[in-house]
Amino acid sequence: MSTALANPSEMIRQGAPRLIHSDGELAEYTDALFALTAKADPTADEEEAIELMTVLVERYEQERYPLPEAEPADVLRYLLERNGLTQRDIAPELGSESTVSLVLSGKRQLNRDHIARLSRRFNVSPAVFFRVP
């Protein structure tokens, strides 16, 4: 057994990441996660922390706020409405107003960069923009 795992309860006592149990803790973890992911060149330890914290955040969000089945365009439409935004407001995230229109009409799919920018813009998990089979 690894020395680090010899006493897991001691790791927790010393402040190691733990399961998230409240929205307050979720906010703390999300803030820390955004700070880590904003680094231009994270270290190997920071990459490991990003991965672990992402798992913890996703677990809490899936249990507390399960996502209904929805098409990515429907999710985007909802987020626009909820935040009082127009298609023009999110053109920078998708590249142009015409791209926004194509995505919302279902004629174009969101790509990885679009999803990353939209998830940051709306402070939501990228998972909300993936099509549910």
**Domain interval for residue 39:** 11-64
Other CB atoms within 10 Å distance of the CB of residue 119: 16
Residue scoring higher pLDDT (106 or 8):
106
Please tell me the total number of residues recorded for the chain in this structure.
Answer: 133
Residue 20 lies in a domain: yes
Of 10, 17, 11, 14, nearest to 32 (Cα)? 17
pLDDT (tens digit per residue) in 15-34: 888 999 999 999 999 889 88
Residue 2 lies in a domain: no
Number of structural domains, the chain?
2
Residue 109 lies in a domain: yes
Q: Which of 64, 90, 105 is the last residue of a domain?
A: 64
pLDDT (tens digit per residue) in 35-84: 888 889 999 999 999 899 989 988 998 888 776 778 999 999 999 999 99
Cα–Cα distance between 59 and 65 in angstroms, integer? 10
pTM for the structure as a whole: 0.54
Cα–Cα distance between 75 and 118 in angstroms, integer? 11
Q: State which H helix or E strand residue 66 sits in.
A: none
Q: Which of 64, 83, 109 is the last residue of a domain?
A: 64
